[in-house]
A = this chain, B = another copy of it.
Amino acid sequence: MRLLLINPNMTESMTRSMTDVARVTAGPAAEIVPLTATTGFPYISSRAEAQIAGAGVLETIASHRHDVDAVIIAAFGDPGLVAARELFDLPIVGMAEAAVMSAAMLGERFSVVTFSPHMARWYDACVRQTGLGGRFTGVRCPADPPAQLGDVQTALRPELIALAHDGTRSDGADVVILGGAPLAGLAPQIAHETPGILVDPIAAATAQAMALARLSPSYRNRTARPAAKTSTGLGQALSTVIAGETT
């Protein structure tokens, strides 16, 4: 089984750390094919950025869809996910959605802990978009953004653990999702000090992409596929998909 891991952010180091987690999660059962965005932003944190980067995600899936069994959109706000799922005939998961669905099967209510107040609004909206807002206790984040993204796992470690306490003790969550690519891989390192059950979104996305691929869903009679359409200014592969051509 091959899984396309698309990092819609332009930061290669994030792709590497997320790929590492995905490979540990998948073990020998799946091959991870990582790709990093070449246009857009170093790190997406708003709806405007997600609008733009999500369009790029569609181009990337169009180009690689024949080579993989499932796709992981590897940014917590799931840029392009709804659009991609409507358009393509293979399983596609987002980090936020996969983390939320997994959390909802591990406990009753879940919290998101993240590293910066800049992410809170977008993450909150993204979680509610899944339809599971009724089991979500909210986003917990530091009051101020970090000086730099590269070392948040070490610099913010005590604060992230404290936020998980808030999410469980005060907010009533059973499960704590560590949201955002810069936190990839942190969960197992802090699990013994942290209350609740921790979920790493890239691990969840990998496990869910494998689960969906394992179901071998038949897309043949899919009803949600948009009508075929001409387009202007798109990449060749995406333009072909939207035109309804089968090559």
Copies in the complex: 6
Query: Which residues of the other chain, B, contact A26 by a CB distance below 8 angstroms?
Result: 214
* CA gap between A120 and B169 in the complex, in Å: 12
Complex interface: chain B residues within 8 A of A29 (CB): 29
Asked if A40 contacts B131 (CB within 8 A), the reply is no
Chain B, residue nearest A128 (CB): B134
- Contacts A107-B85, A214-B25 given: A229-B41 contact, CB under 8 Å? yes
B222 and A211 form a contact (CB under 8 A) = no
Query: What string of 1s and 0s marks CB contacts (under 8 Å) between A200-214 and chain B?
Result: 100110111011101
Task: Among A43, A58, A224, find the residue whose CB has the most chain B CB atoms closer than 10 A.
Answer: A224
8 residue pairs, one from A and one from B, having the closest CB atoms: A39-B233, A46-B226, A207-B211, A191-B218, A51-B83, A48-B87, A211-B211, A48-B83
Binding site for B on A (CB under 8 A): 10, 25-27, 29, 38-43, 45-52, 54-55, 58, 80, 82-87, 91, 93, 97-98, 101-102, 104-108, 118, 120-121, 124-125, 130-132, 134-135, 145, 168-169, 172, 174, 188, 191-192, 194-200, 203-204, 206-208, 210-212, 214-224, 226-227, 229-234, 242
